[in-house]
Amino acid sequence: MQIKKFSYLIFPLILFINCFGLKFQKNDITPNDWSEKSIRIANLEDSYKRKHRFNKVFSKFSSKRFIPYYRFIDKTFSIVGSYNQGDENYIIIKDKNGKFFKISQKNKKYNKDPILNFLVFEENFENAKQLIDTKIWLNDVWDAENFITKFPNSFYTFQSVEVKDVIGFQNSDIGYPIWLKVLTEKGEDAIVRYNQQGVRVGIKDHYFTSDPLPLEWGTKILQKIKNRKADIGMSSKQVRIAIGYPDEINSTSSRHGVSEQWIYFLLNKKNYYQFEYDKLVYINN
Higher pLDDT among residues 3 and 208, named by residue: 208
Rounded to whole angstroms, how far apart are CA atoms 143 and 145? 6
**Structure confidence at residue 200 (pLDDT):** 82
Contacts of residue 60, defined as CB under 8 A and 6 or more positions apart, other chains included, come to 67, 99, 100, 101, 102
CB 193 within 8 Å of CB 179: yes
Note the pLDDT tens digit of each residue in 44-79: 999 999 888 899 999 999 888 999 999 999 899 999
Region 214-239: mean pLDDT is 98
**Structure confidence at residue 106 (pLDDT):** 66
Note the pLDDT tens digit of each residue in 89-102: 899 999 999 999 99
Note the pLDDT tens digit of each residue in 246-278: 999 999 887 767 899 999 998 889 999 999 999
Contacts of residue 53, defined as CB under 8 A and 6 or more positions apart, other chains included, come to none
| Percent of the chain predicted with pLDDT > 90 | 72
**Structure confidence at residue 245 (pLDDT):** 95
Among 22-26, 120-124, 127-131, 135-139, the least confident range? 22-26
**Structure confidence at residue 178 (pLDDT):** 98
CA atoms within 13 A on the CB side of 124: 23
Region 227-252: mean pLDDT is 96
**Structure confidence at residue 2 (pLDDT):** 47
Dihedral sign for Cα 68, 74, 77, 83, please.
positive
pTM comes to 0.85
Strands 43-44 vs 160-170: parallel, antiparallel or unpaired: parallel
Region 220-239: mean pLDDT is 97
- Please report the domains of the chain, with CATH numbers, ordered by start residue: 16-116 (no CATH), 125-208 (no CATH), 215-284 (3.30.1450.10)
DSSP 3-state of 78: strand
| Percent of the chain predicted with pLDDT > 70 | 88
Q: Is residue 16 very low, low, confident or very high in pLDDT (cuts 50, 70, 90)? A: very low
Region 130-147: mean pLDDT is 97
| Cα dist from 147 to 60, 190, 204, whole Å | 35, 7, 12
Region 143-152: mean pLDDT is 97
C-alpha dihedral (50, 143, 163, 180), degrees to nearest 10: 30
Buried b / exposed e over 116-149, threshold 16 CB at 10 Å, is: bbbbbbeebbeebeebeeeebbbbbbeeeebbbb
Which residues, listed in sequence order, are joined to residue 41 by a DSSP beta bridge?
73, 119
The mean pLDDT of the chain is: 88
CB 276 within 8 Å of CB 285: no
**Structure confidence at residue 86 (pLDDT):** 80
**Structure confidence at residue 270 (pLDDT):** 95
**Structure confidence at residue 205 (pLDDT):** 95
**Structure confidence at residue 202 (pLDDT):** 87
